[in-house]
Chains A and B, each alone.
Chain A
Amino acid sequence: MVELIIDGQKVEVEEGATILEAADKLNIAIPTLCYHENLTPFGACRVCTVEVVVDGVSSLTTACNCPVEQGMEVRTVSERALEARMLAVELLLAKCPGSEAIRSLARDMGIEEPRVELETEGCILCGLCVRTCQELVGVGALRLVDRGLDRDVKETFVEASTDKCIGCGSCAYICPTSFIKLEETGDTRTVWDRVFKLKKCQVCGNYWAPEAQLEYIRKTCNLPSDFFDVCPNCK
């Protein structure tokens, strides 16, 4: 067990836990955006920035992926931490002024309008979609390409035409800026500009999941070919 101090309160957590988890134990809320408890922390958005003092030296770090250390002192609402956090949110807001997730973060911090020029790009490169596709779905159809200013999110099937995407829609669900669009009309679903045919249930006639996704599950779990002819509702 490791003992540390967060905002003047002592807390004991297991070794390897992050600052964010330790703060959660104390019911101290640190805002996050690119963090998701079921995914590996990424530290891309800098919204969870906190001030950490180790051996008298103070530095800024992201709470979501920084492991705790014995005797560490964390300040979540110090002037320095708040300033860094506000700047991060302000820049995110400038990049994506239409996102409700970012707007509510900004509102909570008292930011109305960013001081810099607005862009309408939509993607903030938080990496949530890439991590979801890789870790939760296990497909790995998305990846981040390049570094620094040129960084971009790409589907591998566009780049290398490996046809990995199964159209499950998890990326569209998790995207905090609604940059990834998912549309369903009748028997088709469109995501990443690719059209997926939906499977029709043989009993109720409802379209319930993309055929590519069901095929992927069927192969992974070694299920009989008629396993998905009927939707879970009618089974």
Chain B
Amino acid sequence: METLALYVPRLLEKKENFAPGHRACSGCGEALAVRMVMKALGKNVIVVMATGCMEIISTQLPYTSWEVPWIHTLFENTAAVASGVVAGREALTRKGKASSRTKVVAMAGDGATADIGVQALSGALERGHDFTYICFDNEAYMNTGIQRSSATPFGAATTTQPVGKISMGQNTWKKDMPAIAVAHNIPYVATASPSYPFDLMNKVKKARDIEGPAYLHILSVCPTGWRTPSDLSVRIGRLAVETGVFPLYEVENGKYTLNIDPPQLRSVEDYLKLQGRFKHLTPEMIKEIQEKVEAKYAELVEKVLFYDGF
């Protein structure tokens, strides 16, 4: 799909449902991801959004970037509110006043997904509501000043895990949120990146059309928090995939597919060296990260091959 990218982009929808003029930092990968997600979702959608960067930058009264119905929720109850909206839609559908074609999409950051909102999410996934949950993962609480979250990768410097004599940045490994979603046996789980726009939009469309809960995990490069130049967001997103740090895959009813499969993984150093949050890493730590990434990637490839066998 990505090799089609020269003329095919001209066929994409021109209408923006996430309007420009919002207050995201320059080079924000998350705003780019939201824009593509909204392009793919279309107009007939209700968005439930947790507190976070995207809520702050796009809804400054009296302005809004949202061209669709939009509800703000707290960190912890995004999935719960989304399930309520689904229940409401179904009640109105029974009365003939709404249609199940109106899709419900919950959006949240990594903090609202992996830390604070994980119980509400788990409940909603388990109950099997017909909604899509999209996590925009920028790997820390960027909105409040780069505090660590459980999605922050090993070694990354944050304001609560600073680099110094005692701490060398984040000392735990990133929480594997897509795997947690897969464990709920839901119909669709996928990872995506705005650096691969077609792949992302296809996955959003798939998640939207599938009946039952769908979970999408999108890596959003954050120039402010990752200490990267703002013109490199798309490249860093690609490097994350090419190095195997953030592989793009989807899980349909338990069947794993690897969407972007580079012939050979690049060294993680290519990805780490561009980011200020990793600049203190010693060669030993980089080696440790490399080994972990390779092991995780091999695990994923094994799952893909396992299901290919059937």
Contact = CB atoms under 8 A, between A and B. Distances in A.
Contacts of B7: 136-137, 168-170, 213
Interface in A167-188: 168-170, 173-174, 184
A209 B11 contact: no
Nearest to B198: A173
A37 to B, nearest CB: 6
B238 interface: yes
Interface string B2-23: 0110111011011100000000
B42 to A, nearest CB: 10
Interface string B186-206: 000000000000000000000
Interface stretch (A3-11, A49-57, A114-122, A200-208): A200-208
B43 A27 contact: yes
Contacts of B264: 205
Interface of A is mostly: mixed
Determine which residue in B7, B209, B262 has the highest number of CB atoms from chain A within 10 A of its CB, and name it: B7
A206 B10 contact: no
A137 B101 CA distance: 33
Contacts of A27: 43
A117 to B, nearest CB: 29
Contacts of B10: 38, 136, 170
Contacts of A108: 101
Interface in B103-126: none
A36 interface: yes
Contacts of A206: 262-263
Interface string A32-50: 0000111000000000000
Interface string A127-150: 000001000110000000000000
Interface in B210-250: 235, 238, 242
Given A37-B13, A206-B262, A206-B263, A233 B238 contact: yes
A223 interface: no
A132 B10 CA distance: 9
A106 interface: no
A154 B268 CA distance: 48
A36 B11 contact: yes
A170 B4 contact: yes
Contact of B14 (A29, A37, A104, A132): A37
Contacts of B3: 169, 184, 189, 198, 207-209
A195 interface: no
A24 B238 CA distance: 36
Contacts of B8: 168-170, 173
Nearest to B101: A108
Contacts of A189: 3
Contacts of B253: none
A168 to B, nearest CB: 4
A217 interface: yes
B44 interface: yes
Contacts of A217: 6
Contacts of A205: 263-264
Contact of A173 (B11, B13, B15, B238): B11
Interface in B45-84: none
Interface string A84-95: 000000000000
Nearest to B12: A38
B6 A38 contact: no
A28 B26 CA distance: 36
Given A38-B10, A168-B6, A213-B6, 19 more contacts: A29-B44, A37-B13, A37-B15, A104-B209, A136-B7, A136-B10, A168-B8, A169-B3, A169-B7, A170-B7, A173-B8, A173-B11, A184-B3, A205-B264, A206-B262, A207-B3, A209-B3, A233-B235, A233-B238
Interface of B: 3-4, 6-8, 10-11, 13-15, 43-44, 101, 209, 235, 238, 242, 262-264
Which are the 9 A-B pairs with shortest beta-carbon distances?
A: A168-B7, A169-B4, A136-B10, A170-B7, A173-B8, A137-B7, A170-B8, A174-B11, A208-B3
